[in-house]
């Protein structure tokens, strides 16, 4: 770059404006600018163009950026889920026992495993702990996060809240079958389960296999009726402007029982039967 002899190029001026010239080049460019009105005027034009673009860019796009609180809550829930998944994969047997405790635990584990293998083999086709329990007719109140992380549609809060008393749609038979297969309920008792939405459509939940799980009718405490009450409560809060939609979706999909305890202020389900 021979700044003293010739005018600065637009590229040189952009590099100078952005602080991307080396120290030596910068000194030479400034020296040229001090003596050249043409280049100074051009530099000013370029800086005005930058200012114009920045006003256009920020003024046009900033109003489209929604508040970060909902997406932040959702990310936090997803990170917790990802961390929990990776813990399970990397340390499946990492139990903080020592000495005699470890010996007793191993014996207990062998005994329990033997019994379960003897009784479960004909039912179980799945691979997850929840699927294993479900396939053995143990009432399960939680979906398996790896199989049912939850999925939502593009509906907005306004669209959701304008729906009159939405009811969960019937899950197509083919989709129900796939859910049972994923949870290893092929030969078990599908009639003992309701295929339920993890995030209810009343809160923007999607008709997606990742949002469906077999909820046992036999769960005595944390059953489908209790979850329905939570869904109604969350929808009231979302539509009443007391909770943002993404947070409601994140909370119900990450741990619906914890969400129930939080929003009903109780450790046990409230009796809502008439």
Partner 1 sequence: MLEDEVITGSGAAAKAARDVREQPRADTSKAPPLELEVIAIFDEFRDRLLRYLISFGLSAADGEEVVQEVFLALFRHLRDEKPRNNLRAWVFQVAHNLALRQRGATRRNHQNLVPFEAVDGEEALIDHAPTPEAQLAGKQRYARLFAVLQALPELDRRCLFLRAEGLTYREIAHVLGVSLGAVPLSLARSLTRLNCVDER
From the list 131, 147, 246, 252, which residue makes contact with partner 1 (rule: CB under 8 A)? 246
For 22-85, the DSSP string reads -HHHHHHHHHHHHH-HHHHHHHHHHHHHHHHHHHHHHHHHGGG---SHHHHHHHHHHHHHHHHH
∠85-210-150 over CA atoms, to 5°?
A: 75
Stretches 4-12, 179-187, 224-232, 258-266: which one binds partner 1 (CB under 8 A)?
Answer: 4-12
Contact by Cβ (8 Å): 7, 38: yes
From the list 23, 24, 34, 64, which residue makes contact with partner 1 (rule: CB under 8 A)? 64
- Angle of helix 245-254 relative to helix 256-264, nearest 10 degrees, comes to 120
From the list 3, 134, 140, 157, which residue makes contact with partner 1 (rule: CB under 8 A)? 157
Paired tokens of 128: 């997850």
Stretches 26-34, 43-51, 133-141, 172-180: which one binds partner 1 (CB under 8 A)?
Answer: 43-51
From the list 65, 118, 174, 220, which residue makes contact with partner 1 (rule: CB under 8 A)? 65
CB of 151 to partner 1, least distance (A): 5
Binding footprint of partner 1 on the chain (CB under 8 A): 9-11, 13-15, 18, 20, 45-46, 48-50, 52-72, 74-76, 78-80, 82-83, 86, 149, 151-158, 204, 206, 208, 210, 244-246, 249
């Amino acid at each position: 770059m021979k700044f003293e002899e010739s005018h600065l190029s637009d590229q040189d001026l952009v590099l100078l404006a952005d602080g991307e010239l080396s120290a030596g080049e910068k000194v030479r460019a400034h020296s040229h600018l001090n003596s050249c009105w043409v280049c100074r005027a051009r530099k000013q034009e370029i800086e005005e163009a930058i200012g114009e673009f920045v006003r256009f860019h920020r003024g046009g796009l900033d109003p489209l950026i929604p508040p970060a609180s909902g997406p932040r809550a959702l990310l936090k829930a997803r990170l917790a889920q990802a961390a929990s998944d990776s813990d399970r994969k990397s340390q499946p047997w990492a139990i903080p026992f020592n000495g005699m405790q470890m010996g007793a635990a191993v014996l207990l584990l062998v005994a329990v495993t033997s019994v379960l293998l003897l009784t479960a083999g004909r039912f179980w086709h799945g691979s997850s702990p929840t699927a294993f329990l479900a396939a053995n007719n143990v009432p399960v109140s939680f979906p398996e996060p790896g199989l049912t992380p939850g999925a939502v549609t593009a509906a907005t809060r306004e669209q959701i809240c304008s729906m009159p008393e939405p009811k969960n749609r019937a899950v197509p038979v083919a989709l129900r079958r796939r859910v049972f297969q994923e949870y290893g309920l092929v030969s078990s008792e599908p009639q003992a389960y309701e295929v339920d939405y993890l995030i209810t459509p009343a809160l923007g939940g999607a008709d997606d296999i990742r949002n469906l799980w077999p909820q046992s009718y036999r769960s005595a405490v944390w059953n489908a009726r209790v979850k329905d009450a939570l869904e109604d409560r969350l929808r009231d809060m979302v539509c009443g402007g007391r909770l943002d939609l993404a947070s409601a979706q994140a909370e119900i999909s990450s741990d619906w029982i914890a969400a129930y305890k939080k929003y009903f202020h109780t450790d046990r389900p409230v009796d809502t039967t008439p």
